[in-house]
């Protein structure tokens, strides 16, 4: 298949390929597969073939795919198919209340530990990873800058034990700065999504304010915990 040929090309001709430790096949696959279930088995065949191919080229490279936390929790059929394959389970995690009549509302930080424990326990005894973690600080999303800082602290508290026992492959926090104000409305229009609450969410995910350029309270919480882990 063409993807197999592409992998051959990359692994033989890219000088820095030896530095690659993880490869992810697909981003938030539930977004498409949940609304196109007829494509689920096709993507599974593709994913398993890609995984096998990458392992044949370099057995040290760990392969996975990315699923949202909400889909992993609420779409067992989809999650069970892909957690049984791959070397680790990779999530994107924004603790929003999907059952709320108003979308994109942040859940309280005191629920974070239970979420993290669920992700670890339901990963089929594999390590987990995060390509995105974030928490909006907007009042339009039932949050605040203080609540965002509490979330960051709760995430570190919940992850530390799993980092220590090597249950975490990697973590990427999203993001360091808020998005520019004009970005979200254009994105929502392109996606055909109502921007009312989505933009409160997207425009306020950062640990620093785009408008002022100043850090929010969550920034010092983030930096302080990183220093503690690295000491």
Q: Are residues 112 and 197 in the same domain?
A: yes
> Contact, 55 vs 61, CB < 8 A?
yes
Q: Which two tokens stand for residue 111?
A: 């629920």
Q: Are residues 126 and 18 in the same domain?
A: no
pLDDT of residue 182: 85
Among 31, 60, 83, identify where a domain stops. Answer: 83
Give the C-alpha distances (Å, rounded to integers) separating 117 from 11, 121, 148, 225. Answer: 36, 6, 20, 19
pLDDT along the chain (231 residues), means of 10: 93 95 97 95 96 97 97 94 94 90 93 98 96 96 97 97 95 94 88 88 95 96 93 76
Prediction pTM value: 0.94
pLDDT of residue 65: 97
pLDDT of residue 231: 76
- Give residue 40's domain range: 1-83
pLDDT of residue 1: 73
Among 83, 102, 128, identify where a domain stops. Answer: 83
Count up the domains in the chain and report the number: 2
């Amino acid at each position: 298949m063409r993807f197999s040929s592409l992998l051959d090309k990359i692994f033989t001709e890219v000088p820095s390929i030896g530095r690659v430790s993880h490869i992810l096949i697909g981003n938030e696959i539930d977004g498409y597969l949940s609304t196109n279930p007829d494509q689920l088995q096709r993507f599974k065949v593709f994913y398993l073939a890609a995984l096998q191919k990458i392992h044949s080229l370099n057995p040290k490279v760990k392969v996975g795919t990315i699923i949202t936390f909400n889909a992993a929790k609420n779409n067992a059929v989809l999650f069970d198919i892909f957690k049984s394959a791959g070397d680790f389970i990779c999530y994107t995690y924004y603790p929003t209340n999907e059952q709320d009549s108003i979308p994109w509302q942040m859940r309280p930080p005191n629920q974070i530990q239970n979420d993290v424990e669920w992700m670890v326990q339901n990963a089929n005894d594999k390590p987990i990873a995060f390509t995105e973690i974030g928490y909006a600080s907007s009042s339009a999303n039932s949050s605040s800058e203080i609540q965002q800082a509490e979330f960051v602290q709760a995430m570190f508290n919940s992850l530390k034990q799993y980092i220590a026992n090597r249950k975490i492959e990697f973590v990427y926090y999203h993001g360091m700065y808020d998005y520019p104000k004009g970005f979200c409305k254009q994105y929502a229009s392109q996606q055909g999504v109502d921007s009312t609450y989505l933009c409160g969410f997207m425009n306020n995910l950062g640990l620093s304010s785009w408008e002022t350029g100043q850090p929010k309270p969550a920034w010092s919480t983030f930096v302080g915990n990183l220093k503690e882990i690295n000491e």
